[in-house]
Structure 1
């Protein structure tokens, strides 16, 4: 027993080390083996502990022993079922659906869609579907039909994520960014490192541009910039690529440019759970503004002689570190009359519309900083939702100069999306519940264009340069020369 215990401890440490080492690229058989070995060791430790208590031959010990042993067997059974088909252990989705199940899902979807504010205002009449629209389709194609149904609103808050338990979504282990000079891979699983830093030209013989246009057509984004921000979610979804007839198998040929030559590498998909963990884990990267979660929500700091307010998410960090306290800090720092104030919204994908007013008031109180040559706002494709509302208020109430990329939505948009789930398939989707109206109520633009447009190319990323800051400095220097 003692030898088995120490052998298990050794395997536990080895598996944990592999998981920690591979967390930056959680793909492939080594990571999967380490993960399974880790849970097997946890089960073994519980079994050892349970048996040890059992042999004490006391009533209370045997009660605890029985509970521990039952828990160990439960974890082992769950792990086994997850490896076979994780839908077997998750009640959210069914592995076998009847026509009646699908019709119930469709009826549920349509009952929710008519509650969208665009339908209530008679702006959009949604297309009605029934089971005949889905009959004979594969699981992936059924999901595509549901995606199309919700996309009719062309509302960035109302959409069906392509990663679903329902069809065991598979993802290519890559992530990238749509720069102004093309789409480039920024990270890849260890076996596909040759793709990092390369421009992707085609997937399965279909150009990136064509796939991008297909994604716009089926998902109904707010605008093309919002589509670029979310492109990775769709581009690397193997199930969706099959439904769009981009590829027809599990091995995907990717054509990329390398020193002006076209090369091909074949990539295999893996679980979407691994991919999401990899892509969405919080990070502190500023550029490029991508789909990862940036932390912290906000910070205020000096960069050279410029005061920078970086606002990634309009949500209080804690009771002791609220946005109202942030506004007080801003008010205090502005008294020192910094060379400029930069409000960085490049990674701001939303938050709470009720929280940002103290920041605006702090800026308006400083007549020194409320000047087009001193007050700057950085925007990107990622700027969205409550970030747009905040930006619109700043644009209308201050003299700020906007620098960057067009935003992922316009000042008048639908929002406050609710998460909903179809009762049988478990397909989840988001649907807007209200319309947000900006200060310019008749503004029909689906984006907010900057005063100074920035081009962000792959070379900028490679060299670590920041075109937003460069554009700001050029503008400030010009203003000083020509006051």
Structure 2
């Protein structure tokens, strides 16, 4: 028995050794110094879209060393961009065999494996191979490719536009004389398929049985509902998925898009107030909302959770007021009876209440609303440039620099990397002692470009051991901004000031698009799990070290209590 065991172990080891060697290639690098020089040269050529020049260098590099998927990826893109589609297919498949790549800032390219699958599908299409093009489209979609609606009109598939199999991938068919009820049934079925196709974990907040029941129930009620009511019911279904990147864009349908009230609500710690208004309704700015018809404001806010697929309760404060501004949503939640006339009871600063009637207006959704600028006062620093993705200002009297980071994107005039190079230069030149990073308006964006900002924060703390990093945060600190906040807390001793964050340290995120084939209704479904913190981190948010609530009186008086609190801490340190 002992001999059998030893023999089995030896056989097991031999099999695994052979398997290990089969996973790596026999590579011979002639000169390591020349290799790294040419590797850097090839990446530079690709980034400057000099595709033809990069091909010979990349071919030589991948011949010498075959374990670097990044190089196969760049070679595949270069072949594709020069019209060598057969070669592009072969090399991009090799990239996938090695597990793909995470390269960023590559023109015309996108690193996730599902994006590479779609690039292969495009290459097959350009090469006239419809069967394999459709096969690789299906593979990409099954791997949660997130830009599906925008592929239908892609130039690579121009010859497929009337192909039944191609159209079926997008939920379309050539059925003639289709009724309104039939179109909505097909749209609802397509949404169900897209949820299962896209969502990282569709049944973590609702069971498969419950979701199927809700979808079937809606299909049976179509004839008794108008289009706006169906949209609200679909918003409830998406809301039941239970994490913050799931939503429907209410102005996206081909017809009967949802309208909104002519005012913007905001939840402060002392109540819900009107903070912005359309022309003709400006006089109501500054009024507190006591009730919407017969439902008090706080109860109405909590009811929006039925359609607000949130990561935590801070998203109720952030997005709940937005949903309160949609009359059809109010009707669908049982708050109002008539979506065309909404009765709201308002209270002024003296405590006097009055009931007014508001009628909805048409609009186009562009983004979830931010805290607006003040109408009749000088803007406090944190509201002065909210439209600018990132900017900084020296505060010499406190030996500080204020950095506002409003969206994780690249400006055309200055990349985030270049901004951080400038920022580090200003910090060094002016001997800055305290760095204040404001993430209160940041809903996220392209998380792959965050490293330069994180490096700046870490570098500042290392180079200024007697100084402080402060981070202003709150309900709108979400998605990629949440990831940055989580990393800052992992790698630095930053002092956090404000409200709890709008998401979790570990959360289901990203955003895969869907477009319903007949109504045109568009929305997003969560596609990836972000484990930015340790595996055991189950916090609902990151809490501030210095809590500062948002008061309406501070906002309307142009007072930034959170930033003022930081200045007080800095002054106390001086003493």
Shorter-normalised TM-score: what interval?
A: 0.7 to 0.9
Question: Where in structure 2 are there 5+ consecutive unaligned residues?
Answer: 1-177
Query: Is the aligned partner of 1:176 residue 2:265?
Result: yes
TM-score by length of 1: 0.72
Query: Is the aligned partner of 1:468 residue 2:559?
Result: no
2:246 aligned partner: 158
The CA deviation string for residues 120-159 of structure 1, in whole angstroms up to 9 with x for no partner, is: 7867534112222545233233222211211222111111
Separation in 2, partners of 1:108, 1:469: 47
Is the contact made by 2:461 and 2:468 (CA closer than 8 Å) also made in structure 1?
no
Shift of 1:277: 7.2
The CA deviation string for residues 406-442 of structure 1, in whole angstroms up to 9 with x for no partner, is: 1110111122202211111222111111111112222
The CA deviation string for residues 149-184 of structure 1, in whole angstroms up to 9 with x for no partner, is: 112221111112344434332211001321111111
- Show the 5 A alignment for 1:53-92: none
Separation in 1, partners of 2:271, 2:561: 17
Is the contact made by 2:195 and 2:202 (CA closer than 8 Å) also made in structure 1?
no
2:289 aligned partner: 200
Would the alpha carbon gap of residues 115 and 479 (structure 1) be closer, same or farther in structure 2, given more than 3 Å must change? farther
CA RMSD of aligned residues (A): 2.9
1:76 aligned partner: none
Separation in 2, partners of 1:466, 1:145: 39
2:344 aligned partner: 254
Separation in 1, partners of 2:337, 2:503: 34
2:472 aligned partner: 378
2:519 aligned partner: 425
Separation in 2, partners of 1:125, 1:372: 52
The CA deviation string for residues 182-204 of structure 1, in whole angstroms up to 9 with x for no partner, is: 11112223433331111011111
Separation in 2, partners of 1:184, 1:353: 33
Separation in 1, partners of 2:368, 2:244: 20
2:491 aligned partner: 397
Query: Is the aligned partner of 1:244 residue 2:333?
Result: yes
Would the alpha carbon gap of residues 155 and 427 (structure 1) be closer, same or farther in structure 2, given more than 3 Å must change? same
Separation in 2, partners of 1:265, 1:288: 34
Which structure ranks higher in relative contact order (CA pairs < 8 Å, sequence separation ≥ 6)? 1
Shift of 1:312: 0.6
1:49 aligned partner: none
Would the alpha carbon gap of residues 238 and 124 (structure 1) be closer, same or farther in structure 2, given more than 3 Å must change? closer
Separation in 2, partners of 1:158, 1:339: 41
Residue 213 (structure 1) aligned to one of 259, 284, 302: 302
Question: Where in structure 1 are there 5+ consecutive unaligned residues?
Answer: 1-95
Is the contact made by 1:283 and 1:293 (CA closer than 8 Å) also made in structure 2?
no
Would the alpha carbon gap of residues 375 and 116 (structure 1) be closer, same or farther in structure 2, given more than 3 Å must change? same
Separation in 1, partners of 2:531, 2:415: 26
Is the contact made by 1:370 and 1:400 (CA closer than 8 Å) also made in structure 2?
no
Residue 105 (structure 1) aligned to one of 187, 196, 203: 187
Separation in 1, partners of 2:402, 2:204: 43
Would the alpha carbon gap of residues 422 and 386 (structure 1) be closer, same or farther in structure 2, given more than 3 Å must change? same
Would the alpha carbon gap of residues 289 and 142 (structure 1) be closer, same or farther in structure 2, given more than 3 Å must change? farther
Separation in 2, partners of 1:372, 1:443: 30
